[in-house]
């Protein structure tokens, strides 16, 4: 996770960031989620599977940013495509880049880049994770996602408790 590549961006930071994460309903959806990240009016949609600890890995990455990690990356497996999130902390702002690419192809199928305030990113990710926990509970999440990856409760609590100030 830490040690991801540096993201170059000259954009100004925005507060206009939204994140959605929903476990897919029904038996056929078990182990799958629908996710959407929007920054400054541009969005990318993703569909991670239980092969990776998608929500847990994302919360740990964002938590690392609150602890001063300069570069963090996360990969989600969509079983056929990869979602690679890259975050770079810069003076309380986060430069982020999300690539969705085929496992065998070098070119991104979908991508999103932007600069957001760290506290705005922390807030939207924690709020969405809380909504997932409130809807499913820890046991329900474990059944719906994967018995290998419990809900990241400790990480969520740490993000919710994080003050919006530089470490």
pTM over 0.75: yes
H or E element in which residue 58 lies:
helix 54-66
**Does residue 68 surpass a pLDDT of 80?**
yes
How far apart, in whole angstroms, are the C-alpha atoms of residue 26 and residue 23? 9
pLDDT digits (tens, 9 = 90+) for 10-44: 467 777 899 999 999 866 668 999 999 999 999 99
| Helices 118-144, 153-161: inter-axial angle, 10-degree rounding | 160
- 17-157: CATH topology: Secreted effector protein pipB2 fold (3.30.2450)
Structural domain boundaries of the chain? 17-157
101-105's contacts with Cβ under 8 Å and 24+ in sequence apart are none
């Amino acid at each position: 996770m830490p040690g991801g590549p540096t993201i170059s961006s000259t954009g100004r930071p925005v507060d206009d960031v939204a994140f959605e994460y929903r476990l897919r309903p029904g038996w056929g959806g078990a182990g799958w989620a629908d996710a959407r990240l929007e920054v400054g009016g541009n969005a990318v949609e993703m569909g991670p599977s239980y092969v990776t600890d998608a929500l847990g890995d994302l919360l740990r990455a964002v938590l690392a940013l609150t602890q001063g990690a300069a570069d963090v990356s996360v990969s989600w497996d969509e079983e056929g495509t990869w979602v690679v999130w890259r975050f770079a902390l810069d003076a309380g702002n986060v430069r982020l880049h999300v690539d969705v690419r085929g496992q065998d192809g070098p070119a991104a199928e979908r991508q999103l880049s932007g600069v957001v305030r760290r506290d705005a990113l922390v807030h939207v990710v924690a709020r969405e994770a809380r909504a997932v926990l409130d809807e499913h509970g820890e046991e329900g999440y474990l059944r719906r996602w994967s018995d290998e990856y419990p809900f990241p409760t400790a990480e969520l609590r740490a993000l919710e408790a994080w003050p919006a100030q530089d470490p």
